[in-house]
Amino acid sequence: MPSLWFDIAHLFAGGVLVLSLVLLYQDRVTAAINVFALQAITLALSVGWQAFIQSEPLLLVTALMALAVKGFVIPMALHRIVRRLDVHREVEQVIGGGATMLAGLALVALSILLLQPVSGAGDVVAHEDIAFALGVVLLGLLMMITRYNAVTQVIGFMSLENGLILAATGARGMPLVVEISVAFSILIAFIVFGVFVFRIRERFDTVDVTVLERFRGERREQG
């Protein structure tokens, strides 16, 4: 198998990671959704390419699912939600943009470091892909904790899940059953989050999750 094929697989995995970093500093909700959709499409391409080079048609199903659900259905749904909530023009305060980026870079470095020593033995390409995947997972987590807006938190959560899929395809053969159950759990989580967002919205007239903290009486009022 020519090394160019692995290079392309790499390029797609790297693209997913870069889009995670891009996602990290988007401060508009709609832009974040679009970047997320782009990431899902890149992920689908990556998985599809893996299906081709590993000759595993089942992975193709995963790729199509990712493409359809996360590349189109969920982003469209999110756009609708955002529009209905009337927050599509909102600019979110990202906590310390530069610091977040640096933290993101450090996390990527950490994940590469973690998976580097073993990559000497065995399949180099797969390990480097897993390093990328771990990076995507950690960046998704980072995004969840640096955001106040419930919608962008959901996006962070789903980009985290993209990392899981990337890891699964790189590792050669996560069974489809696991795949599907992960996908379903994500879908359910999405629905739960959706309901949750509307609930906050109804009650507090905002989707900023800090209001929940205030409601619990934990956050001292400013001033």
Partner 1 sequence: MPDVTIGLGCAAGFLVIGATGAAIGRFSFAKTVIYGLSLALSLIALGLALSFLLRHAEASTVILPLGLPGTGAHFRLDALSAFFLLVVSLGGATTSLYALGYGQSERAPLRVLPYYGAFLGGMTLVVLAADAYSVLVAGEFMSLASWALVVAHYRDPAAVRAGYVYLVMASFGTLCLLLAFGLLAHASGEYTFAAMRATKLGPEVAVAVAALALVGAGSKAGVVPLHAWLPLAHPAAPSHISALLSGVMTKVGVYGFVRIVFDVAADQSPWSGLVALTLGGVTAVLGVLYALMQHDLKRLLAYHTVENIGIIFIGLGLALAFRANGQDGVAALALTAALFHVFNHAVFKSLLFFGAGAVLTATGQRDMERLGGLIHVMPKTAVVFLIGCASISALPPLNGFVSEWLTFQAILLSPQLPQWGLKFAVPATGALLALAAALAAACFVKAFGVVFLSRPRSPEAAAAREVDRFSLSAMFVLAALCVLAGILPGFVIDWLSPVTSALTGAVLPHQASMPWLSIVPIAESRSSYNGLIIFLFLTASGLFGAAVIHKFATRATRRSAIWDCGFPLDSPVTQYTSSSFAMPIRRVFGAAVFGVIERVDMPLPGEMRAGHFQVRVRDPAWRFIYGPLARSVARSAQWLNRMQFLTVRSYLTLVFLALIGLLLVVAAWR
Partner 2 sequence: MAVIIALALQFFQIALIVAIAPFVLGITRKVRARLLCRRGPPLLQVYYDLWKLMHKEAVLAHNASWVYRSAPYLVFAATWTAAGLVPTYATGLVFSWSADLIAIVALLGTARFTLALAGMDVGTAFGGLGSSREMMIASLAEPAMLLIAFTVALIAGTTQLSAIATVFVTAETGLRVSLGLALLGLIVVGIAENARIPIDNPATHLELTMVHEAMVLEYSGRHLAMIEAAAAVKLVLYFSLIACLFFPFGIATGDKTAAAIAIGVGSFLCKMLVLAVSLPIAETSVAKMRVFRYPAFLGGAFAAAALAVFLRFVSRGF
Residue window 14-53: x/- pattern of binding to partner 2, with contact defined by CB under 8 A: xx--x--xx--x----------------------------
Which listed option, partner 2, partner 1, none, makes contact with residue 18 (CB within 5 to 8 Å by class)? partner 2
Which listed option, partner 1, partner 2, none, makes contact with residue 61 (CB within 5 to 8 Å by class)? none
In which residue are the tokens 């995963």 written? 62
Strand partners, 208: 149
Nearer to partner 1, 67 or 94 (CB): 94
Residues in contact with partner 1 by the rule CB under 8 A: 96, 98-99, 107, 109-110, 113-114, 116-117, 138, 141-142, 144-145, 209, 212-213, 216, 218-219
Find the distance separating the first CA and the last CA of the chain, reported in whole Å.
66
Q: Segment near partner 2 (CB under 8 A), from 11-19, 28-36, 62-70, 160-168?
A: 11-19
| C-alpha distances in Å from residue 175, one per residue of 15, 22, 47, 131, 213 | 25, 31, 14, 21, 40
Buried b (16+ CB within 10 A) or exposed e, 4-22: eebebbbebbbbbbbbbbe
Among 4, 91, 121, 177, binds partner 2 (CB under 8 A): 4
Buried b (16+ CB within 10 A) or exposed e, 82-113: beebebbebebebeeeeebeebbeebbeebbe
Among 58, 61, 73, 112, binds partner 2 (CB under 8 A): 112
Strand partners, 28: 91
Chain residues binding partner 2 by CB under 8 A are: 3-4, 7-8, 10-11, 13-15, 18, 21-22, 25, 97-98, 101, 104-105, 108-109, 112-113, 116, 119, 124-125, 128
